[in-house]
Chains A and B, each alone.
Chain A
Amino acid sequence: MLLVDHINRSFGTKQVLHDVTFSVDSGRMTGFVGANGSGKTTTMRIILGVLSADSGSVLRDGKPVETADHRRFGYMPEERGLYPKMKVAEQIIYLARLHGVGPSVAQRNTATLLERLGLADRADTPVESLSLGNQQRAQIAAALVHDPEILVLDEPFSGLDPIAVETVQGVLTERAASGVPVLFSSHQLDIVERLCDDLVVIADGSIRASGSREDLRAQYGNSLYELVAAADVSWIRDVKGVTIQSLSGHSAVFKAENPDAAQRVLRAALERGPVMRFALQEPSLAQIFQEVIQ
């Protein structure tokens, strides 16, 4: 488990991180979301030791992370980059060797990853001759080649076509399933929603919410219910503790101030006739995000 513990950081007079605290659990995909400039990249750089924190610490299984530990991390920076004139496989092997992987393992891992990412036929192409999407895949291979024990990926899905997104999702969930804590940021909330187990929301350098996706839904869901009945449902207006969001003939969307109020609506509807549909509307990540950062 990785714990980011009360990290503060300023650039000049501007404080960009305020007491940032959250954890990334083993075997979980943790989505890290926030607007541009909210502090995601700075936080990730501090986790990787590329930047130092002014105060606070990063702990792994309770112990402070040291320089040597960073080599066991896999990192994909937001600003992509590989050596343009080096061949794909050569370059990934080189990065694996810098991480301390032996030559034969480095070669084997590189071959496996390139195969998995659909880049095997490009192994001997210089990176500068690859399409942007393929460069991105090579970048992901570079982050994974040393079998990292912790993965930190800054916007791993940006610039990928839908097929590549599928592939990368597959690779990342495999890693998480094998027990690796995975922290990834993304602007694409639909991908985060589909992929993450846990969520961390940051705004203006402060963590606004963190926890499992279900907990956050329960916590920040605005308790919207949908009712579709055989008969007209305009009577709902008169039920206590209920606010109508939208109403049209046989269907309504309403907000209940507590679960009991919603159940009262359901009983009343059944008394009046058949109920076709009654459901708690799950808030989307986008809705939670909006609510949290306000």
Chain B
Amino acid sequence: MSEYRTPSFANSTSLVAMREITMKLRSKAFLISTAILMLAVLASVLVGGILSASTSKTRVAATGAAVAVAEKVPSLMVTEVDSVSAARHLVRIGTVEAAIIPDDERGFGVSIVALDSIPQSLVSALSESPRVELLDPHAINPLLAYFAAIAFGLVFFMSAMTFGTTIAQSVVEEKQTRIVEILMSTISVRALLAGKVIGNSILAFAQIAVIAGLASIGLTATGQSSLLASFGPSIAWFVVSFIFGFIMIAALYSATASLVSRQEDVGSATSPVMILVMLPYILVIAFNDNPLVLAIMSYVPFSAPVGMPMRVFLGQAAWWEPLLSLAVLLITTTAVIALGSRIYSNALLKTGARVKLSDALAR
């Protein structure tokens, strides 16, 4: 017995966490879905890069004296043709977006031939423009804001769902197979719960980190590093608030799952938590152009991990606001963990019918 030592709370917790991680990494379904997610992120960055690179060049046909004029404009990809009729032909069959042909009548020296609409960007590229002064030069392109909203919302929603469900299933597996009784006689219920939450949190953060890393490398590689720079601070806040937000959600998932004893009942037991996870996703997509809704979202603990990074990205948050929101989140997370572990430890031994929430809280 000399080799025996009483395991500390940290010891037990890390053993439980390690088991959660090992078992999850062994699941083929998890590995495949992760690989698909990674590919999707990488693909969307690459496709975005290719699209933005190709839209920057407008294909035009030019002939005669117009060739020299067209080649002075850097955003044009010029195809030189022999005659005006050949240029018109290329426009008609869609090989080029427009043709630039010599025309001395209006003093420009050239005129533009297009198919069915006025090519505004080409017109302005060939025109003298007055100087323009922007009063709010840092405003974010609404399309980019929309893209950011989807990105933050989706990543939060997907990770919280994936790993929240994993925790819920793991809790019920132990209850359903009754191994929980052996576990409870060996380590404290708090260590068991903490190990589960920490193990799955590590997996969730690792997944998010890999996604963020892939997106950064992809953006840099495709020459979109200016985009990366504008996302930087908001991604940092996203990661920090995700850590605490996810721990809170994990505690909720384990507490609600502990109320039931069969895998079939996990879905219905955890559905209130799932709605809490889905709401910020829906709200941020619907209201990413509404500062008031975003401001409220950025302080409500459940949506703060999505709402606050969004406001940081849009430049709507003062420097102290993310800190305040994080403090609110931290306090809520602590309270939820206390409540969750109470429900969890009271409900664990009650197998059979679904445990009432009031019973789980009572004793």
Interface residue ranges, A against B (CB under 8 Å): 45, 48-51, 67-68, 70-73, 75, 77, 79-86, 94-95, 97-102, 105, 142-143, 146-147, 149
B178 near A79: Cβ-Cβ < 8 Å: yes
Taking CB atoms and an 8 Å cut-off, the chain B residues in 166-192 that contact chain A are 173-174, 177-188
What is the bound-complex CA distance between A79 and B177, given in angstroms?
8
- B10 on the A face (CB < 8 A): no
15 contacts between A and B (CB under 8 A): A71-B6, A75-B185, A77-B182, A81-B181, A94-B19, A98-B7, A98-B15, A98-B187, A100-B5, A100-B7, A100-B11, A143-B182, A147-B1, A147-B4, A149-B1
Residues of chain B contacted by A101 (CB below 8 angstroms): 3-4
Chain A residue contacts of B3, Cβ below 8 A = 101-102, 105
In the complex, the answer to whether B178 meets A77 with C-beta atoms within 8 Å is: yes
For residue B21, which residues in chain A have a CB less than 8 angstroms away from its CB? none
B351 CB contacts on chain A under 8 angstroms: 79
Interface status of B349 (Cβ within 8 A of chain A): yes
Q: 1/0 per residue B211-224: CB within 8 Å of A?
A: 00000000000000
Q: Is the CB of B23 within 8 A of A85?
A: yes
Q: How far is the CA of A83 from the CA of B174 in the complex (A)?
A: 7
Bound Cα distance A67, B345 (Å): 15
- Give the A-binding residues of B (Cβ under 8 A): 1, 3-7, 11-12, 15-16, 19, 23, 173-174, 177-188, 349, 351
Q: Is the CB of B23 within 8 A of A86?
A: yes
CA distance A253 to B67 in the complex (A): 129
CA distance A85 to B186 in the complex (A): 21
Contact (Cβ within 8 A) B185 A70: yes
Judge whether B7 and A77 touch: CB under 8 Å: no
A70 touches B23 (CB 8 A): no
How many Å lie between the Cα of A98 and that of B18 in the bound state?
12
- Taking the closest CB of chain B, its distance from the CB of A47, in whole angstroms, is 9
Q: How far is the CB of A15 from chain B (nearest CB, A)?
A: 16
Known: A94-B15, A101-B4, A105-B3. A70 touches B179 (CB 8 A): no
Partner of B177, one of A73, A82, A143, A147: A82
Q: In the complex, what residue of chain A is closest to B359 when comparing beta carbons? A: A12
Chain B nearest CB: distance from A97 CB in Å? 5
Determine whether the beta carbon of B179 is less than 8 Å from that of A81: yes
Instruction: Give the residues in chain B near A48, CB-CB below 8 Å.
Output: 185
Of the listed residues B4, B184, B186, B188, the one surrounded by the most CB atoms of chain A closer than 10 A to its CB is B186
Contact B7 A71 (CB under 8 A): yes
Does A50 lie within 8 Å of B6, measured CB to CB? no
Shortest CB-to-CB span from B6 to chain A, Å, is: 5
Q: How many A-B residue pairs have CB under 8 A?
A: 78
Q: Which residues of A contact B19 (CB under 8 A)?
A: 94
Task: Output the least CB separation between A134 and chain B (Å).
Answer: 16
Which among B3, B5, B182 has the highest number of chain A CB atoms within 10 Å? B182
Assess A71 versus B186: contact at CB under 8 Å? Given A51-B349, A80-B178, A98-B15.
Answer: yes
Distance of A67 Cα from B190 Cα, bound (Å): 13
Which of B4, B11, B181, B186 makes the CB contact (< 8 A) with A95?
Answer: B186
Among candidates B4, B15, B173, B184, residue contacting A50 with C-beta atoms closer than 8 Å: B184
What residues of A have a CB within 8 angstroms of the CB of B5 in the complex? 100
A245 to chain B: closest CB distance in Å? 46
State how many angstroms separate the Cβ of A82 from the closest Cβ of chain B.
6
Complex: A143 Cα to B12 Cα, angstroms: 18
Nearest-CB residue, chain A, relative to B189: A50
Residues from chain B with Cβ under 8 Å of A83 in the complex: 23, 173-174, 177, 179
B181 in contact with A72 (CB, 8 Å): no
* A2→B351 CA distance, assembly (Å): 29
A50 touches B177 (CB 8 A): no
Q: Which residue of A lies closest to B180 (CB)?
A: A81
Q: Taking A49-B185, A98-B15 as contacts, is the C-beta distance between A72 and B177 under 8 angstroms?
A: no
**Whole-angstrom distance between the alpha carbons of A81 and B180 in the complex?**
8
Please determine whether A50 and B185 come into contact, CB atoms closer than 8 angstroms.
yes
B27 and chain A: residue at smallest CB distance = A85
- Docked CA distance A10–B187 (Å): 24
Given the complex of chains A and B, what is the CA–CA distance between A68 and B177 in angstroms? 25
Known interface pairs A49-B185, A143-B182; 13 further A-B residue pairs with C-beta atoms within 8 A, sorted by A's residue number: A49-B184, A50-B181, A68-B6, A75-B182, A75-B185, A81-B178, A83-B174, A84-B173, A84-B177, A95-B182, A102-B3, A105-B3, A149-B1
**Nearest CB on A from B189, distance (A):** 10
Q: Which residues of B contact A72 (CB under 8 A)?
A: 4
Please, which residues of chain A bring their CB within 8 A of the CB of B349? 45, 50-51
Q: Which chain A positions have C-beta within 8 A of B7?
A: 71, 98-100
Given contacts A70-B186, A71-B7, A77-B181, contact A97 B173 (CB under 8 A): no
In the assembled complex, the CB of B185 is this many whole angstroms from the nearest CB of chain A, namely 4
Cβ-closest chain B residue relative to A142: B182
Q: Are A67 and B188 in contact (CB under 8 A)?
A: yes
Contacts of B1 in A (CB 8 A): 147, 149
* Set of chain A residues within 8 Å of B182, measured between Cβ atoms: 75, 77, 81, 95, 142-143
Complex Cα distance, B17 from A97, in Å, reads 13
Contacts of A70 in B (CB 8 A): 185-186
Taking CB atoms, residues of chain A closer than 8 Å to B23 are: 83, 85-86
Q: Which 10 A-B pairs have the closest CB atoms?
A: A81-B178, A81-B177, A79-B178, A48-B185, A81-B179, A100-B7, A77-B181, A75-B185, A50-B184, A98-B186
Instruction: Note all chain A residues with C-beta closer than 8 A to B187.
Output: 71, 98
- B345 CB to closest chain A CB (Å) equals 11
Q: Which residues of B contact A97 (CB under 8 A)?
A: 15
Q: B28: shortest Cβ distance to chain A, in Å?
A: 12
